[in-house]
Each structure stands twice: as C-alpha cells, then as structure tokens.
Amino acid sequence: MVPLVRVTPDSHDVAIDLLYATADNFTHKPVYKTGAGCFLNAEAEQLLRRAVDLARPLGLRLKIFDAFRPAEAQWVLWNHTPDPGFLADPRRGSPHSMGAAIDLTLVDGDSGAELDMGTAFDEFTPRSHHGNQDIPAEAQRNRHLLMGVMTTAGWDFYRNEWWHYQLFNARAHHPVLSDSVLGPDRMMP
C-alpha cells in the first residue's frame, strides 16, 4: 500500500474546502463523499509544509480545493468534461491520482478571505492560464505570489491552471492509486 498522509487544518495550518465533495464544482454534483478527507503522498506533504511556512510570514495561508483524487474520480471528471487542456486523461494518469498534486489558493491569514485570482477555481478558460493579462493587475500579482510560494517550496506548476501544482516528474515516480487505497470508499456511489 502506498502511504498517503492526511492533511487537516490543525495538522498543517491550512484551510480546506474540498469542492469535489460538494455540488460546487463543474460537474454540479458531489464526486467524493462528505468528509472524504484531504490526502497527499509523503513527498508532496513535505512540500506543502514548506509552502505553508513560506506563506505564513506574509500573513497568508493556503486554502486547498483538491489533493489526492482517486483514479475513479478522475474518470468521473473526464467523462463529464473530456478536455485535455484542463483535465488529465485518466488512461495516462493524473498526478492528483498519485497523491502528487494539489489545487489551492491563498487566503488572508487573519480573515480567511480568498485573494482575488481573476477566475474561480476550475474555470476552464484561457483566463485561468498563468500569465494571462486579461485579468485585473491585482489578480495577476496574487497569482504570481502563489506561484512564488509554491515553486520556492519545490512544486511544479501547470501553465493552464493558476490553482494547480504538482511534483516534478510525478508520473515517473508515483503510481496511480484507486479509491481503495484509503480503505472505506470515498467516492459517491
């Protein structure tokens, strides 16, 4: 069994809002069961801790929208919207399904308010691309700040999604994991 590390607000000083456990995602229905939990593989969890430590002195915290995504969940998302510009083809494997990717944003450390990133999480348009200049300057600065924190902590970024960070060469070093890796099923029936 490949070890996954549970990430919680208390253990990692992060905010967590797993949007695929709600209907507030592009499929408009829950993909995960409520209380599915947030997990990363051990290598990614260590990089998350570094990113948290880099954000804290700036008065910022990280808010996680998704982390480990079982292969079955990747199929649900792909079957709904088979867009290779924004979703990894499950036949190839997603770094999320390896516990090697995280979707997140920055929030104010005191109020918890999300910083403006110019688009919502999972807006599958060119406005979500890193370097897009069709969004307000403040949102561009916030994206650069997020990228600075994450890449300084050792993460790779995906150019089409300001919210997505992953381990370098994840597919070469980590297996795709199914829903069963955590024991009780976390997917919706």
pLDDT single digits (tens) 143-178: 999 999 999 999 999 999 999 999 999 999 999 998
Query: Is 189 domain-assigned?
Result: no
User: Nearest 5°: phi and psi at 55?
Assistant: -75, -35
User: Tokens 């929208």 belong to which residue?
Assistant: 65
User: For residue 184, what pLDDT is reported?
Assistant: 64
Query: Is 125 domain-assigned?
Result: yes
Give yes or no for residue 186 having a pLDDT over 80.
Answer: no
Task: Locate 75 and state its tokens.
Answer: 């199929």
For residue 100, give the nearest of 1, 28, 2 by alpha carbon: 2
Q: Angle 137-152/42-55 helices, nearest 10 degrees?
A: 130
User: For residue 2, what pLDDT is reported?
Assistant: 57
Q: What is the mean pLDDT of residues 103-123?
A: 97
Note down the domain range covering 130.
4-182
- Report the amino acid identity of residue 99: G
Provide the number of structural domains found in the chain.
1
For residue 168, give Cα distances in angstroms to 1, 14, 36, 95.
Answer: 22, 22, 26, 10
The residues assigned a catalytic role are: 161
Query: Is 31 domain-assigned?
Result: yes
- Report the amino acid identity of residue 139: A
Question: What rounded mean pLDDT belongs to the chain?
Answer: 94
**Cα angle vertex 167, ends 163, 169, to 5°?**
125
Confidence of residue 33 (pLDDT cuts 50, 70, 90): confident
Rounded to two decimals, what is the model's pTM? 0.95
Query: Is 94 domain-assigned?
Result: yes
Pairing of strands 101-108, 164-166: antiparallel
For residue 168, give the nearest of 155, 177, 158 by alpha carbon: 155
The enclosing domain of 150 has a CATH number of 3.30.1380.10
Give yes or no for residue 44 having a pLDDT over 70.
Answer: yes
Query: Is 21 domain-assigned?
Result: yes
Query: Is 187 domain-assigned?
Result: no
